[in-house]
Amino acid sequence: MTQTVAPPSVSSSSSSSVAASSATTQPLLKINEVDFAYGARQTLFGVNMGIAQREVTAFIGPSGCGKSTLLRCINRINDMIEGARITKGNITLGNVDINHPDLDVIALRRKVGMVFQKYNPFPRSIFENVAYGLEVAGMKNKKVIAETVERSLRSATLWEEVKDRLHESALGLSGGQQQRLCIARTLSVRPEVVLMDEPCAALDPIATAKIEELIHQLKKDYTIVIVTHNMEQAVRVSDKTAFFYLGKLIEFNNTMTLFSTPENEQTERYLSGRMG
């Protein structure tokens, strides 16, 4: 498995370092001293970090450490949960506070797409799945929709596999294909940021390798934040890695640095498997 993904990982890390150096001046997403609570239970404590444009940032840490919570704050999907809110600090996307009362949350979610842990295409056709984002945005032009569907499926490296059965149910696809379809669906609305919440957790190694390869390609156009439990995956796909523990950001650094010479003792213990 490691061998199959090794070549792209090497080739893209060189290209990403160029992109990273140009973007490090001004991070696209800034998380400023964020406290977050579900009702009375506080789950994030003073998280402070910047996420650079066109880089892959990985969130790692043991279950319940708050990494998914933070991810779900970025597109405000946590609004769905009663009593869940940021109690202190703010998150800015391109210098706009995403929790500002005047902010259009629909527009935010179009800019910040999300891929979920369990691949969950709608029980509709492949075409309808990808066209969903455009249709809810009020797009009526059939030609534009068809073009966007093709572009999105190509970006998600799924087009060749499904071009002859676009109008069949998405549930007939394999798990890996379904997850790539979900990525295509997210890309269809041209987001700037793509959030991925353990996108490979339910996939076999080969499907995982394909998704990881896809992430490398997407990095050219999108800013990606990925939550993962798989530390090798973090090494393979990400430029920067953030380690969370008990709701606190413990360490945030270049992936290579963090994994080879962790500064914090807790990070070191987690990476070596003595914790979590």
Interaction of residue 180 with another protein, rule CB under 8 A:
no
Interaction of residue 107 with another protein, rule CB under 8 A:
yes
DSSP annotation of 149 reads H
Half-sphere CA count of 215, side-chain side, radius 13 A: 32
Between CA 165 and CA 162 the distance in angstroms is 5
Contact set for another protein, span 117-136 (CB under 8 A) = 118, 120, 122-124, 132-133, 135-136
Choosing from 12, 29, 51, 116, the residue that interacts with another protein (CB under 8 A) is: 116
Q: x/- binding map, residues 185-224, to another protein, per CB under 8 A?
A: xx-xx-----------------------------------
DSSP annotation of 139 reads -
Between CA 129 and CA 184 the distance in angstroms is 9
Interaction of residue 106 with another protein, rule CB under 8 A:
yes
Choosing from 14, 25, 63, 82, the residue that interacts with another protein (CB under 8 A) is: 82
Q: Centre a 10 Å sphere on the Cβ of residue 200 and count the other Cβ atoms it contains.
A: 26
Closest CB to another protein among 7 and 123? 123
List interacting residues with another protein (CB under 8 A): 75, 77, 80, 82, 106-107, 109-110, 113-114, 116, 118, 120, 122-124, 132-133, 135-137, 171, 182, 185-186, 188-189
